[in-house]
A and B are shown apart, each in its own frame.
Chain A
């Protein structure tokens, strides 16, 4: 799949990743890379601005945490984030179903 198509859903993917458990930025990026089997070829740095957008929107919260002597910014899903994830997941399912219908008809 083209990287651009996945990049457009980066925030949805981050919300989905955080739905599992709270994580810091690098761990999120590693998880996305692993789960997409390397298909998610985006500039990994873009994850950090995306996380800040989500935080500004109230969908995630974050805090500094010291782990093994290192300070890391840990992100977690908020209630609003869970609602948005549910809504966007539904929207994605509808999109996929509609595209499938059209492609099958052709």
Chain B
């Protein structure tokens, strides 16, 4: 490593990342011009670098001077703020930020799968109780069989429900598709009653459902 490279490396290490770019660029250019000027006088590059290093003074002293100016406010309020962001503190800040991003992602990412579970046929029995469909905001999900529901949106306020179990009340993130045909079937177990919140979004609640179409 040349003397100029060693000097610049020492200067880089002595200064916070926020305030070293310009000084490093100017000192690097200073070396280039000094070496060129000495070369015109017949001074070899190595000697010219050594001479320039001596004339510049210790890199640490130069860094200390800049840092002192930053702390004293001689370089303005932005400079005083910049000096507090040393490389060490920047690393700590980056670590905390990374942890916050990971935690935030864990909270934001939906817990349920974006893919709807496979649709299965629910048990059907003849003569099931004909209970009116109702909407119950406090209904519990049918976790017993966990068979998913395929719902279709016929029109706002009315849905067609195919066989299946139902998920816990809440807004489904499953895509709403067109009915593939076949009559809706009745089940004896508490099933879901869905309401259409808005296109593409359904609200699932407990209840019993009638064949074919539901309305509420």
The interface of chain A, by Cβ under 8 A from chain B, is 24-27, 29-30, 42-46, 48-49, 52-53, 56, 70-73
The interface of chain B, by Cβ under 8 A from chain A, is 22-23, 25-27, 29-30, 32-34, 37, 55-59, 61-62, 65-66, 69, 74-76, 79
Question: Contact between B57 and A48 (Cβ–Cβ < 8 Å)?
Answer: no
- Of all chain A residues, the one with the shortest Cβ separation from B79 is A56
Partner of B74, one of A24, A30, A53: A53
Partner of B62, one of A24, A45, A53, A72: A45
Partner of A52, one of B27, B56, B57, B69: B69
Q: How far is the CA of A25 from the CA of B32 in the complex (A)?
A: 12
Question: Contact between A26 and B33 (Cβ–Cβ < 8 Å)?
Answer: yes
Question: Contact between B61 and A49 (Cβ–Cβ < 8 Å)?
Answer: no
Among A24, A53, A70, chain B packs the most CB atoms within 10 A around the CB of A53
Question: Contact between A46 and B22 (Cβ–Cβ < 8 Å)?
Answer: no
13 more A-B residue pairs beyond the given contacts A25-B26, A46-B57, A73-B26, with a C-beta to C-beta distance below 8 A: A24-B29, A27-B33, A29-B30, A43-B61, A44-B56, A48-B62, A49-B62, A49-B66, A52-B75, A53-B69, A53-B74, A53-B75, A71-B25
